Amino acid sequence: MEICVIGAGYVGLVTSLGFAKLGNNVICVDIDINKVVSLNNGIPSIYEEGLEDMLIECLEKKNITFSNNIIEGIEKSNVIFIAVGTPEKNDWDIDMSQVYEVISQISNNILNYRLIVIKSTVPIGTQKKVNKIFLENGVSVDSFDIVSNPEFLREGRALHDFFNGDRIIIGCDSLRAKKIMKELYEPFTCEIIYTSPETAELTKYASNAFLASKISFINEIANLCNKVGADIETVAYAMGLDERISPKFLRAGIGYGGSCFPKDTKALVKIGDKHGIDFKIVRGAIEVNEKQRFIPIRILLNKYGSLEKKIITILGLSFKPKTDDIRDSPSLTIIEELIKNNANIKCYDPIAIDKVRNIYSNIMYCYNLYDAIENSDCIIICTEWDEFNSLNLGKIKDSMNYPMIIDGRNMLDGKKVREKGIEYYSIGKSN
Ligand code: UGA
């Protein structure tokens, strides 16, 4: 098929490459000309495993091209995916300006039938609203269909998730649209659910809010473990053996971050408010998550009283491993609290360091893990990068000013760390 994807962010880029790899011809459109030029030269705008190779492969096969000309994209394609950002506004509402700008451009430029697929996470009722805008802009009913097709991929595993999703959900009222979507998703083996647009739109929010609540739930249990001497790893493992619970998303720590869970949980609460539904569980999940990131600061203040002139090392800056995305990362809240407490900060991350460098000037950025640890009064692990699994504990002990680790992701073996003479704190582990 001839496909246009509008927006070359995480979702748009992965969707473009995924469909190009499957043999479709894709034009991916973005307003950022620098990004377009880099992508056409095979240089990815984000870090994602396997993405660079797939980009180069698809460019060589001429299955994909990047452009900043949206009209060209609309003219050359039968299916148009909208994958632009829907960021959070201050009042927890969603900023839909990018989506509506794109809708205006498409509706003013289509000459014959186009299928418009909304991939961006959008409030419930958006498909209907977009449909109305097309009709109001004089586009005939025969010339378009609008489909809601939310994305479920995870950063760090995005390409894997594109090809191996648990389900594909397609919300549309039109048989014509359903037929095209069926053909487009023909190569996929997972279950495809055809439903109403509202159901599709809500499924996305419900899934993310449920997963976020699961994390906050286990984090509260972990906080209790710390108080009563129970072990969160064993509690989570034993809970997870119950098939109804499942072991996934039961990793306790300093909380979730990223561009999705924080934004989508708040948006769902806001949407509920508009309809007179008070989402108490989701509100609770948000509150627990916001407090969770302060745990390392509390431990430090208990230990040192004042953090003035203490050297604190942050290991891991991205909101999760295998990505350079730092949006709403717990590490940033921790850095800000440390700055307020006049601590000296050193940080290290295998990939995300340059993104943080653009935000804070008065902290020390290290490109070598052991440089970041030298003379430190405490290490805080904020992201469970693989390389932190094989820390040289002896070297750490010798090079720190005071040997202390706060393991915000419960990734180290506490017993081994303590045996080396390093003070160890976790989120609810007894070891
Ligand atoms: C999430 C969803 O998992 C995707 O299905 C969805 O498509 C995506 O949001 C989106 O809406 O676009 P993502 O934010 O990329 O994906 O990453 P996750 O792997 O879900 O992790 C989110 C956060 O939860 C991370 O900060 C992670 O460290 C944290 N987490 C995850 C925990 O603290 N404990 C866990 O057990 C699992």
* Three-class SS state of 246: coil
Of 294, 362, 347, 356, residue with least CA distance to 325:
356
198-245 residue pLDDT tens: 999 999 999 999 999 999 999 999 999 999 999 999 999 999 999 999
Identify the residue whose C-alpha is closest to ligand 1 atom 27: 256
**Nearest atom of ligand 1 to the alpha carbon of 264:** 11
* The token pair that represents 358 in the structure block: 């653009």
Q: Cβ(144)–Cβ(116) under 8 Å?
A: yes
Q: Catalytic: 366? A: no
What does residue 205 show for φ and ψ, rounded to 5 degrees?
-65, -40
Tell me which of 233, 261, 333, 381 to substitute to probe ligand 1's pocket, judged by most ligand atoms within 8 Å of the beta carbon: 261
Last residue of a domain, one of 291, 315, 344: 291
| 241 burial level (CB within 10 Å; 0-12, 13-18, 19+) | exposed
Indicate if ligand 1 lies below 6 Å from the C-beta of 258.
yes
Same domain? For 128 and 139 the reply is yes
Q: Of these residues, 58, 172, 260, 378, which one is catalytic?
A: 260
pLDDT at 137: 95
CA–CA distance, 256 with 320 (Å, rounded to integer): 8
- For residues 313 and 183, state if they share a domain: no
Give yes or no: residues 323 and 386 share one domain. Answer: yes
Domain assignment present for residue 96? The answer is yes
**Ligand 1 atom closest to 258 (CA):** 14
Rounded to whole angstroms, the Cα distance separating 215 from 233 reads 13
Through-space distance between the first and last CA atoms of the chain, rounded to whole angstroms: 55
Helix, strand or coil for residue 369? Answer: helix
Distance 310 CA to ligand 1 centre (A): 32
Cβ–ligand 1 distance for 319 under 6 Å, the answer yes
Domain contains 251? yes
Statement to judge: residues 39 and 179 lie in one domain = yes
The 10s digit of each residue's pLDDT in 168-211 is 999 999 999 999 999 999 999 999 999 999 999 999 999 999 99
The mean per-residue pLDDT over the stretch 74-91 comes to: 96
CA 215 to ligand 1: nearest atom: 34
User: 228 and 314: one domain?
Assistant: no
Indicate if 37 and 163 belong to the same structural domain.
Answer: yes
Among candidates 18, 211, 308, which has minimal Cα distance to 3? 18
Q: What amino acid occupies position 321?
A: P
User: Ligand 1 centroid vs 87 CA: distance in angstroms?
Assistant: 17
Confidence of residue 50 (pLDDT cuts 50, 70, 90): very high
CA of 212 to the centre of ligand 1 (A): 8
Q: Is 269 within the bounds of a domain?
A: yes
Query: Residue whose CA is closest, atom 23 of ligand 1?
Result: 256
Distance CA 408, CA 293 (A): 8
Q: Are residues 184 and 211 in the same domain?
A: no
**Domain annotation covers residue 431:** no
Answer whether residue 413 is part of any domain. yes
Is there an atom of ligand 1 within 6 Å of 316 CB? no
Percent of the chain with pLDDT over 70: 100
Same domain, 269 and 417: no
Question: In this model, does residue 248 exceed pLDDT 90?
Answer: yes
pLDDT of residue 254: 98
Nearest CA among 216, 212, 208, 256 for reference residue 86: 208
Nearest Cα neighbor of 262 from 316, 309, 326, 314 is: 326
Percent pLDDT > 90 in the chain is 99
**Domain identity same for 241 and 168:** no
Q: 269 and 304: one domain? A: no
Q: Name residues whose C-beta falls within 8 Å of residue 309's C-beta, 6 or more positions apart in sequence.
A: 342, 343, 344
| Residue 160 in contact with ligand 1 by CB distance below 6 A | no
Q: Which amino acid is at 386?
A: D
For residue 376, give every residue at least 6 positions away whose Cβ sits within 8 Å of its Cβ, in sequence order, or none: 311, 312, 313, 346, 399, 400, 401, 402
Q: Is the pLDDT of residue 431 over 90?
A: no
Helix, coil or strand: residue 171: strand
Instruction: Tell whether 310 is covered by a domain.
Output: yes
**Count of C-beta atoms within a 10 Å radius of residue 338:** 22
Q: Is the beta carbon of 155 within 6 A of some atom in ligand 1?
A: yes
Q: How far is the CA of 204 from the centre of ligand 1 (A)?
A: 13
Domain boundary among 291, 306, 337: 291
How is residue 154 annotated by DSSP?
P
CA dist 12 and 39 (Å) reads 13
- Judge if the beta carbon of residue 250 lies within 6 A of ligand 1: yes
- Please, what is the Cα angle at 33 between 28 and 34, to 5 degrees? 110
Residue 83 has pLDDT above 90, yes or no: yes
pLDDT of residue 68: 97
Domain boundary among 195, 219, 249: 195
Distance separating alpha carbons of residues 193 and 174, to the nearest angstrom: 14
215 CB less than 6 Å from ligand 1?
yes
Please check whether residue 192 is in contact with residue 200, taking contact to mean a CB–CB distance below 8 angstroms.
Answer: no
The CATH number assigned to the domain holding 232 equals: 3.40.50.720
Examine the pLDDT at 62 and tell me if it is beyond 90. yes
Residue 38 has pLDDT above 90, yes or no: yes
Same domain, 419 and 287: no
Whether 31 and 77 map to the same domain: the answer is yes
R_g over Cα of the chain: 24
Which protein residue's CA is at the shortest distance from atom 20 of ligand 1? 154
50 CA to centre of ligand 1 in angstroms: 19
pLDDT tens for 368-423 read 999 999 999 999 999 999 999 999 999 999 999 999 999 999 999 999 999 999 99
pLDDT in tens, 323-353: 999 999 999 999 999 999 999 999 999 999 9
Range of the domain at 280: 204-291
How many structural domains are present in the chain?
Answer: 3
Is position 430 within any domain?
Answer: no
Which residues have C-beta within 8 Å of that of residue 208, sequence separation ≥ 6?
121, 260, 261, 264, 265, 268
Residue 367 lies in a domain: yes
Is the distance from the beta carbon of residue 409 to the nearest atom of ligand 1 less than 6 Å? no
Question: In which order are the strands placed within the sheet that holds 25-29?
Answer: 64-67, 25-29, 2-6, 79-82, 114-118, 144-148, 167-171, 191-195
CA dihedral 146, 200, 204, 180 (to 10 degrees): -50
pLDDT in tens, 94-140: 999 999 999 999 999 999 999 999 999 999 999 999 999 999 999 99
Neighbouring C-alpha atoms within 13 Å toward the C-beta of 135: 10
